[in-house]
Amino acid sequence: MPRDDLIRLVEVVMAGDGSEAGHDALVEVLERSVRHPRVLDLIYHSDPPLTAEEVVDAAFSYQPFAL
């Protein structure tokens, strides 16, 4: 999914508008679209809070490491 589309998606998730089922569906799309294993933590548990653009950039920059 292109960066701009993901930013809009994160903005909608952050706003929390709509039904719970709709929110859950958007979260599922977001989690499938990025490699970051805890992308929701970037949205809800960052200190200081991140903007939608910062969330997407952090999610895109995530690199898993081999054990």
- Looking at residue 31, what is its pLDDT? 96
pLDDT at 9 over 90: yes
Count of the separate structural domains present in the chain = 1
22: containing domain = 3-61
Share of residues in the chain with pLDDT > 70 (%): 100
In a domain, 66, yes or no: no
In a domain, 13, yes or no: yes
- Looking at residue 10, what is its pLDDT? 97
- The first and second tokens of residue 45, run together, are 């548990």
The mean pLDDT value for 39-63 works out to: 96
- Looking at residue 36, what is its pLDDT? 95
The mean pLDDT value for 28-49 works out to: 96
- Looking at residue 58, what is its pLDDT? 96
